[in-house]
């Protein structure tokens, strides 16, 4: 049986790094730059899952390093990826 599905995430080749530095640590997400611009103009127009290349927060995306759940909770007040992504997009670069 053939199962088809659609993914809306941006490819890793087209993604750029959005980052936020807090408490001496860096937090990064891989995003589609065009969709980030659209999201900043109108957040309800873009699903966060669509603008992410990977549904993950990194401390160093190039080396595949991830923060601990406790670090996310401490910095973002949550370890929920969606909440962390929103904060990085709103307050980061």
d(CA 66, CA 79): 12
Task: Find the helix or strand (DSSP H, E) in which 26 lies.
Answer: strand 25-31
pLDDT single digits (tens) 8-42: 566 787 899 999 999 899 999 999 999 999 999 99
In the three-class reduction of DSSP (H, G, I as helix; E, B as strand; rest coil), residue 54 is classed as coil
What mean pLDDT is predicted for residues 3-9?
A: 48
Side-chain half-sphere exposure of 93, counting CA atoms within 13 A: 3
In the three-class reduction of DSSP (H, G, I as helix; E, B as strand; rest coil), residue 58 is classed as strand
pLDDT single digits (tens) 38-59: 999 999 999 999 999 999 999 9
Residue 34 confidence (pLDDT): 93
79 within 8 A of 26, measured Cβ to Cβ: no
Average predicted confidence (pLDDT) for the chain: 89
**What domains can be seen in the chain, in order of their start residue?**
16-91 (3.30.1250.10)
pTM value is 0.85
């Amino acid at each position: 049986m053939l199962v088809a599905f659609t993914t809306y995430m941006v490819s890793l080749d087209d993604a750029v790094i959005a980052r936020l530095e807090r408490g001496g640590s860096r937090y990064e997400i891989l995003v589609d730059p065009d969709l980030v611009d659209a999201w900043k103009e109108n957040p309800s127009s873009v699903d966060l899952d669509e603008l992410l290349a990977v549904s993950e927060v990194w401390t160093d995306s190039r080396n595949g390093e991830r923060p601990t759940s406790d670090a996310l909770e401490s910095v973002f007040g949550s370890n929920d990826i969606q909440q962390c992504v929103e904060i990085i997009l709103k307050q980061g670069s």
